[in-house]
Protein backbone atom coordinates (compact mmCIF):
# COMPACT_ATOMS: atom_id res chain seq x y z
CA UNK A 1 0.00 0.00 0.00
CA UNK A 2 1.34 3.32 -1.07
CA UNK A 3 0.62 6.43 1.00
CA UNK A 4 -0.03 9.70 -0.77
CA UNK A 5 2.82 12.16 -0.49
CA UNK A 6 2.01 14.91 1.97
CA UNK A 7 1.66 18.38 0.53
CA UNK A 8 4.20 20.80 1.85
CA UNK A 9 2.75 24.11 2.88
CA UNK A 10 3.95 26.86 0.59
CA UNK A 11 6.83 28.66 2.20
CA UNK A 12 6.08 32.28 2.91
CA UNK A 13 8.51 34.61 1.24
CA UNK A 14 9.55 37.33 3.63
CA UNK A 15 11.45 40.54 3.12
CA UNK A 16 13.05 42.83 5.67
CA UNK A 17 11.70 46.37 5.35
CA UNK A 18 12.29 49.71 7.03
CA UNK A 19 9.20 51.71 7.99
CA UNK A 20 9.90 55.43 7.81
CA UNK A 21 7.96 58.69 7.98
CA UNK A 22 7.78 61.65 5.65
CA UNK A 23 5.61 64.56 6.80
CA UNK A 24 3.75 62.22 9.14
CA UNK A 25 2.99 59.63 6.42
CA UNK A 26 4.26 56.07 6.76
CA UNK A 27 6.22 54.41 3.93
CA UNK A 28 8.26 51.23 3.60
CA UNK A 29 11.45 50.38 1.75
CA UNK A 30 13.31 47.11 1.42
CA UNK A 31 16.23 47.16 3.84
CA UNK A 32 18.35 45.66 1.03
CA UNK A 33 17.71 48.87 -0.97
CA UNK A 34 19.25 51.13 1.68
CA UNK A 35 23.02 51.32 1.52
CA UNK A 36 23.37 53.59 4.55
CA UNK A 37 21.42 55.83 6.88
CA UNK A 38 22.94 59.14 7.88
CA UNK A 39 21.96 62.17 9.85
CA UNK A 40 21.20 65.30 7.83
CA UNK A 41 24.07 67.04 9.62
CA UNK A 42 26.55 64.59 8.09
CA UNK A 43 25.82 66.05 4.64
CA UNK A 44 26.49 69.63 5.72
CA UNK A 45 30.17 69.65 4.74
CA UNK A 46 30.02 67.56 1.59
CA UNK A 47 26.71 68.51 -0.06
CA UNK A 48 26.78 71.14 -2.78
CA UNK A 49 23.78 73.19 -3.82
CA UNK A 50 22.12 72.72 -7.16
CA UNK A 51 19.37 74.85 -8.65
CA UNK A 52 17.30 73.09 -11.26
CA UNK A 53 14.00 74.87 -11.96
CA UNK A 54 12.27 71.73 -13.27
CA UNK A 55 13.27 69.64 -10.23
CA UNK A 56 12.71 71.64 -7.04
CA UNK A 57 12.76 68.39 -5.03
CA UNK A 58 16.55 68.22 -5.63
CA UNK A 59 18.47 71.03 -3.96
CA UNK A 60 21.77 69.28 -3.19
CA UNK A 61 24.18 66.72 -4.57
CA UNK A 62 27.19 64.88 -3.21
CA UNK A 63 30.08 63.37 -5.13
CA UNK A 64 30.45 59.62 -4.53
CA UNK A 65 33.43 58.36 -6.45
CA UNK A 66 32.97 59.45 -10.06
CA UNK A 67 29.20 59.92 -9.80
CA UNK A 68 26.96 62.56 -8.37
CA UNK A 69 24.45 61.42 -5.78
CA UNK A 70 21.33 63.62 -5.85
CA UNK A 71 19.54 64.37 -2.59
CA UNK A 72 15.75 64.19 -3.07
CA UNK A 73 13.40 65.80 -0.57
CA UNK A 74 10.83 63.01 -0.08
CA UNK A 75 8.12 65.41 1.12
CA UNK A 76 8.36 67.43 -2.08
CA UNK A 77 8.53 64.29 -4.21
CA UNK A 78 5.31 62.89 -2.71
CA UNK A 79 3.55 66.29 -2.68
CA UNK A 80 3.33 66.41 1.12
CA UNK A 81 3.69 69.39 3.44
CA UNK A 82 7.37 69.95 4.10
CA UNK A 83 8.71 68.86 7.46
CA UNK A 84 12.31 69.27 8.58
CA UNK A 85 14.11 66.06 7.58
CA UNK A 86 16.32 64.38 10.16
CA UNK A 87 17.80 61.46 8.22
CA UNK A 88 19.10 60.59 4.77
CA UNK A 89 18.74 57.18 3.14
CA UNK A 90 21.49 56.53 0.62
CA UNK A 91 19.74 54.17 -1.77
CA UNK A 92 21.61 51.22 -3.24
CA UNK A 93 21.91 50.81 -7.05
CA UNK A 94 20.63 54.35 -7.64
CA UNK A 95 22.15 57.79 -7.67
CA UNK A 96 19.65 58.99 -5.09
CA UNK A 97 19.74 59.92 -1.43
CA UNK A 98 16.37 60.48 0.22
CA UNK A 99 15.60 63.05 2.93
CA UNK A 100 13.14 61.61 5.46
CA UNK A 101 11.74 62.62 8.84
CA UNK A 102 12.68 59.47 10.71
CA UNK A 103 12.58 55.70 10.99
CA UNK A 104 9.71 53.97 12.79
CA UNK A 105 11.09 50.45 12.87
CA UNK A 106 12.44 47.50 10.92
CA UNK A 107 10.02 44.65 10.34
CA UNK A 108 9.26 41.79 8.01
CA UNK A 109 6.88 41.98 5.07
CA UNK A 110 5.26 38.73 4.01
CA UNK A 111 3.00 39.99 1.24
CA UNK A 112 3.31 42.68 -1.40
CA UNK A 113 0.05 43.60 -3.13
CA UNK A 114 0.05 45.03 -6.64
CA UNK A 115 -0.89 48.69 -6.91
CA UNK A 116 -4.60 49.32 -7.42
CA UNK A 117 -5.63 50.93 -10.70
CA UNK A 118 -6.32 54.16 -8.80
CA UNK A 119 -2.55 54.68 -8.96
CA UNK A 120 -2.53 55.71 -12.59
CA UNK A 121 0.10 58.40 -13.13
CA UNK A 122 3.75 58.83 -12.16
CA UNK A 123 3.05 57.27 -8.76
CA UNK A 124 3.03 53.87 -10.50
CA UNK A 125 6.79 54.40 -10.88
CA UNK A 126 7.21 55.46 -7.24
CA UNK A 127 5.91 52.30 -5.57
CA UNK A 128 6.58 48.56 -5.84
CA UNK A 129 3.20 47.87 -4.26
CA UNK A 130 1.32 47.97 -0.95
CA UNK A 131 1.67 45.89 2.17
CA UNK A 132 -0.57 45.48 5.22
CA UNK A 133 1.10 45.86 8.61
CA UNK A 134 -0.54 46.30 12.00
CA UNK A 135 -3.97 47.14 10.57
CA UNK A 136 -2.45 49.73 8.18
CA UNK A 137 -1.80 49.71 4.46
CA UNK A 138 1.70 50.96 3.73
CA UNK A 139 3.12 51.88 0.31
CA UNK A 140 6.43 50.18 -0.45
CA UNK A 141 8.66 52.54 -2.40
CA UNK A 142 10.67 51.68 -5.48
CA UNK A 143 14.17 53.16 -4.93
CA UNK A 144 14.74 53.90 -8.62
CA UNK A 145 11.41 55.75 -8.79
CA UNK A 146 12.61 59.06 -7.38
CA UNK A 147 14.55 60.26 -10.43
CA UNK A 148 13.88 59.14 -13.99
CA UNK A 149 16.78 58.60 -16.42
CA UNK A 150 15.79 61.85 -18.17
CA UNK A 151 15.85 63.74 -14.88
CA UNK A 152 19.28 62.30 -14.04
CA UNK A 153 20.55 63.33 -17.46
CA UNK A 154 19.20 66.85 -16.95
CA UNK A 155 20.74 67.10 -13.47
CA UNK A 156 24.09 65.83 -14.77
CA UNK A 157 23.98 68.35 -17.62
CA UNK A 158 23.36 71.20 -15.16
CA UNK A 159 26.60 70.29 -13.36
CA UNK A 160 28.74 70.52 -16.50
CA UNK A 161 30.82 73.70 -16.75
CA UNK A 162 29.49 76.23 -19.20
CA UNK A 163 31.87 77.50 -21.91
CA UNK A 164 31.59 81.06 -20.62
CA UNK A 165 32.45 79.89 -17.12
CA UNK A 166 35.33 77.67 -18.22
CA UNK A 167 38.57 79.35 -17.06
CA UNK A 168 40.60 77.55 -19.76
CA UNK A 169 38.43 79.21 -22.45
CA UNK A 170 39.43 82.62 -21.10
CA UNK A 171 43.10 81.63 -21.03
CA UNK A 172 43.04 80.97 -24.78
CA UNK A 173 42.08 84.56 -25.56
CA UNK A 174 43.73 86.30 -22.59
CA UNK A 175 47.06 86.87 -24.37
CA UNK A 176 45.41 88.61 -27.31
CA UNK A 177 45.62 85.49 -29.48
CA UNK A 178 42.34 84.54 -31.00
CA UNK A 179 41.61 80.96 -31.92
CA UNK A 180 40.34 80.60 -35.48
CA UNK A 181 39.60 77.66 -37.71
Residue 67 lies in a domain: no
In total, how many domains does the chain have?
Answer: 1
Which contacts (CB < 8 Å, 24+ apart) does range 62-65 have? 62/97
Residue 165 lies in a domain: no
Q: 14 with 26: CB under 8 angstroms?
A: no
Residue 151 lies in a domain: no
Residue 65 lies in a domain: no
* Banded model confidence at residue 165, pLDDT cuts 50, 70, 90: very low
> What's the rounded Cα separation, in Å, for the pair 162 and 169?
10
Residue 28 lies in a domain: yes
Q: 98 with 17: CB under 8 angstroms?
A: no
pLDDT per residue over 72-111, tens digit each? Answer: 999 999 999 988 999 999 999 999 999 999 999 999 999 9
> What's the rounded Cα separation, in Å, for the pair 50 and 84?
19
**What pLDDT is stored for residue 44 in this prediction?**
82
Stated pTM of the model: 0.81
pLDDT per residue over 101-156, tens digit each? Answer: 999 999 999 999 999 999 889 999 999 999 999 999 999 999 999 999 999 999 99
Residues making up the chain, counted from first to last: 181
Which domain range does residue 22 map to? 15-39+73-145
Among 84, 101, 91, 103, which Cα is nearest to 147's? 91
Q: How far is CA 179 from CA 100, 170, 172, in A?
A: 51, 11, 7
Quote the Cα angle for 103-105-107, to 5°.
Answer: 140
Residue 174 lies in a domain: no
Residue 114 lies in a domain: yes
Residue 88 lies in a domain: yes
Amino acid sequence: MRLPTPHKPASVRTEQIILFRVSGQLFAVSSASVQEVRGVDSLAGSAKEIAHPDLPKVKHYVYRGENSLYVVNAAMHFGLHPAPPALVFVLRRTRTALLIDGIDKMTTMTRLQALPLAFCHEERDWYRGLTALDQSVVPVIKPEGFLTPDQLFSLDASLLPRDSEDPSADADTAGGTELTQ
